[in-house]
């Protein structure tokens, strides 16, 4: 019987001998590769924190002590050690979430899976424990060096350092990467700290040398003291953290369970906030991940575990179209530059960076800074294109509103994975963007439906210099072309059904929902209705021609994969009301709720975003 099979809770981890803990680490890596290769998920980050997570559960008593994982994509080992070892349906409906989840376990606390928030959570929890007399309860926050580039993390550090008796341990999981190599001044500082791993060894050697030569004289003692001070000042500049008021321990080998446990116990017993600097290797113990330089194993689909190759090669996707088109635009427009928030490859900017490295800016996990810096670049005469996942747009709303829009900055924000993403869970669905940016004065938003409309939208967006533009597209492969049969006053008409008499229905499909709108239109036409199906690429502000089309209908159906509350449909309705159009609307989109992890198709079915459901609702609305 293996060690892993005997682990049912953290108390079992605390009973392990050193040899058993080392064996457990090996078994965990085997389990992760075998399981995640079948389901997909975050493999590289979890392989890198196996020993660290074991040590955390050896030292801290979860859930009495609280463990907070920044972002949470490295929490698979934590799930296993807290009794959740059925990974057969990981990230699937009814199975384990790919991130920490309060619904799954009392050992999970923070589940929003957006980076750089853990230290604020930990500060608040530790302050709560301290004020309520819980001096024996501790908080440990695990934050990666990538997440530490986010400004929110430093706001938290500033406050944590001011609380000298806070029972809080900050573990910096330093692997030099997030989705990509960590960048910026912090990365250079941590690089320097990494280079000092031999510091303690040098001191140990000096002490042993002095002992071998007999009792050290004053000169030898002074030399050793000077060596220590010189090394600390020159090659171990931990002062950045200590100057804040934080006790610093490290750097520690993140794959040495004994050293990790010893450092964490020292930190726990200190009686105030301590930062433990741990060095790990992402993908540790799995050869394909260790050899990978493009970080393909950060998040994977099903793979062959022996080779690391995907079981089903990726189909040509939306991100690939953007990648190709933005590089073409950059070759023609020297003023076009690109910005990414630590996700160069995932958002499709690798080709741009290869061709124009001096025109790409990776700002780290700092979406707020990205938008305001882009506004500054626009003022200086450039046209910046910021590429990010749609879910992360939420973090920079204030900057879009007051730095970009108020100043009429000509910037373009490209939103990858807009709409329902499914298996990443509540915080990663890109369902908020259209409702959020719809209230921003002067902002224009495009929702292309296929490859040609995406390419066209990008080219139109970078021509706009008097305000921000947003271009959104979904996750996954590009569907078939959906050509317009007619362009009517700037509105793409995808299909028209019926003669000149009967119930008139206008169906609006926003972006990726255009194909569903066409299907709905065909089904309604079979019910002897006169149907016009439209899908304008630019949907915000609402085109006046769209309101004119609505005025000629007996029913308007809007279909979108964002929030139905304050979404595109509601704005078309509002503009129609202003114009005196009183036609009834049937608006379909995502409800105002947090959508649990499931496939995109399952989520759409739950939201009644299927042709049969919408047709049935339309017939009821028309009393048919």
Annotated binding site for thiamine diphosphate: 73, 113-115, 146-147, 175, 286, 367
Question: Which residue is catalytic, options 111, 367, 451, 560?
Answer: 367
228: annotated active-site residue: no
What whole-number distance in Å separates Cα of residue 364 and Cα of residue 183?
Answer: 6
Annotated binding-site members: 73, 113-115, 145-147, 175, 286, 367
282: annotated active-site residue: yes
| Angle at 77 (CA atoms; ends 72, 78), nearest 5 degrees | 65
Asked if omega into 251 is within 30° of 0 (cis), the reply is yes
Q: Do 43 and 283 touch, CB atoms closer than 8 A? A: yes
> Do strands 247-253 and 66-69 pair parallel, antiparallel, or not at all (unpaired)?
unpaired
What whole-number distance in Å separates Cα of residue 413 and Cα of residue 374?
Answer: 10
Q: Do 589 and 562 touch, CB atoms closer than 8 A? A: yes
The first and second tokens of residue 293, run together, are 């330089």
Could you identify the residue written with the tokens 């709409």?
419
Separation in Å, CA 409 to CA 105, 201, 362, 381, 455: 46, 54, 20, 10, 22
Separation in Å, CA 449 to CA 173, 371, 454, 563, 568: 41, 26, 7, 18, 15
> Do strands 360-362 and 336-340 pair parallel, antiparallel, or not at all (unpaired)?
parallel
Q: Do 266 and 59 touch, CB atoms closer than 8 A? A: no
**Three-class SS of 510-548:** CHHHHHHHHHHHHHHHCCCCEEEEECCCEEECCCHHHHH
Please list, in sequence order, all residues whose beta carbon lies within 8 angstroms of the beta carbon of residue 259, skipping any fewer than 6 positions away: 252, 253
Give the closest residue to 270 by CA, choosing from 250, 248, 286: 248
Indicate if the alpha-carbon torsion angle 392, 397, 398, 400 is positive or negative: positive
| Angle at 145 (CA atoms; ends 140, 147), nearest 5 degrees | 80
Please list, in sequence order, all residues whose beta carbon lies within 8 angstroms of the beta carbon of residue 136, skipping any fewer than 6 positions away: none
What whole-number distance in Å separates Cα of residue 409 and Cα of residue 396?
Answer: 15
Annotated binding-site members for Mg(2+): 145, 175
Return left, alpha or beta for 291; rule: phi > 0 is left, psi -120 to 50 is alpha, else beta.
alpha
8: annotated active-site residue: no
Separation in Å, CA 161 to CA 128, 145, 240: 16, 18, 12
Residue ranges of E strands in 247-328:
247-253, 274-279
Please list, in sequence order, all residues whose beta carbon lies within 8 angstroms of the beta carbon of residue 233, skipping any fewer than 6 positions away: none
> Do strands 555-563 and 585-590 pair parallel, antiparallel, or not at all (unpaired)?
parallel
Question: Which residue is catalytic, options 282, 417, 444, 449?
Answer: 282
What whole-number distance in Å separates Cα of residue 64 and Cα of residue 137?
Answer: 6
Which residues are known catalytic residues? Answer: 282, 367, 395
């Amino acid at each position: 019987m293996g060690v892993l099979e005997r682990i049912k809770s953290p108390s079992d981890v605390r009973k392990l001998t050193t040899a058993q803990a080392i064996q457990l680490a090996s078994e965990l890596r085997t389990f992760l590769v075998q399981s995640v290769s079948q389901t997909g998920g975050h493999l590289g980050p979890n392989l890198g924190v196996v020993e660290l997570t074991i040590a955390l559960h050896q030292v801290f008593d979860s859930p009495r002590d609280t463990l907070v994982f920044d972002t949470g994509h490295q929490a698979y080992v934590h799930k296993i050690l807290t009794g959740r070892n059925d990974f057969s349906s990981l990230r699937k409906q009814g199975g384990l979430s790919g991130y920490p989840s309060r619904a799954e376990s009392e050992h999970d606390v923070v589940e929003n899976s957006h980076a750089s928030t853990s230290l604020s959570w930990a500060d608040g929890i530790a302050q709560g424990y301290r004020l309520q007399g819980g001096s024996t309860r501790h908080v440990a926050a695990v934050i990666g060096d990538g997440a530490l580039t986010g400004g929110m993390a430093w706001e938290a550090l500033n406050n944590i350092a001011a609380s000298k008796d806070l029972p809080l341990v900050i573990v910096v999981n330093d692997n030099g990467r997030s989705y990509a190599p960590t960048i910026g001044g912090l990365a250079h500082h941590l690089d320097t700290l990494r280079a000092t791993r031999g510091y303690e060894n040098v001191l140990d050697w000096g002490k042993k040398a002095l002992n071998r030569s007999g009792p050290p004289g004053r000169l030898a003692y002074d030399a050793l003291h000077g060596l220590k001070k010189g090394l600390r000042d020159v090659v171990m500049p931990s002062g950045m953290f200590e100057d804040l008021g934080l006790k610093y321990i490290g750097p520690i080998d993140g794959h040495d369970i004994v050293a990790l446990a010893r450092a964490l116990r020292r930190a726990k017993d200190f009686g105030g906030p301590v930062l433990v600097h741990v060095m790990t290797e992402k993908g540790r113990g799995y050869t394909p991940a260790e050899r990978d330089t493009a970080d393909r194993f950060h998040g994977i689909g099903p793979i062959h575990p022996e080779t690391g190759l995907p079981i089903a090669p990726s189909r040509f996707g939306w991100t690939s179209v953007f990648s190709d088109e933005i590089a073409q635009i950059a070759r023609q427009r020297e003023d076009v530059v690109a910005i990414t928030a630590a996700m160069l490859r995932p958002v499709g900017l690798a080709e741009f960076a290869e061709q124009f490295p001096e025109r790409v800016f990776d700002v780290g996990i700092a979406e707020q800074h990205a938008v305001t810096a882009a506004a500054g670049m626009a003022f200086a005469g450039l046209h910046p294109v910021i590429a990010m996942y749609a879910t992360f747009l939420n973090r920079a709303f204030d900057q879009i509103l007051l730095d970009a829009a108020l100043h009429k900055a000509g910037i373009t924000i490209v939103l990858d994975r807009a709409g329902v993403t499914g298996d990443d869970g509540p915080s990663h669905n890109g369902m908020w963007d259209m409702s959020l940016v719809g209230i921003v004065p002067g902002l224009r938003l495009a929702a292309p439906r296929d490859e040609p409309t995406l390419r066209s939208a990008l080219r139109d967006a970078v021509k706009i210099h008097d305000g921000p533009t947003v271009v959104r597209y979904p996750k996954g492969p590009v569907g078939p072309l959906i050509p317009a049969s007619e362009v009517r006053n700037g509105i793409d008409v995808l299909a028209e059904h019926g003669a000149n008499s009967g119930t008139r229905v206008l169906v609006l499909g926003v972006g990726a929902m255009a194909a569903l709108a066409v299907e709905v239109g065909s089904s309604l036409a079979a019910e002897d209705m006169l149907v016009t199906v439209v899908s304008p690429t630019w949907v915000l502000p609402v085109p006046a021609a769209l309101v004119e089309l609505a005025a000629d209908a007996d029913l308007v159906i809007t279909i979108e994969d964002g929030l139905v509350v304050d979404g595109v449909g509601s704005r078309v309705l509002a503009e129609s009301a202003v114009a005196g159009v009183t036609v009834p609307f049937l608006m379909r989109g995502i409800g105002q709720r947090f959508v649990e992890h499931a496939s995109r198709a399952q989520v759409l079915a739950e939201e009644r975003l299927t042709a049969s459901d919408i047709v049935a609702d339309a017939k009821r609305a028309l009393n048919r």
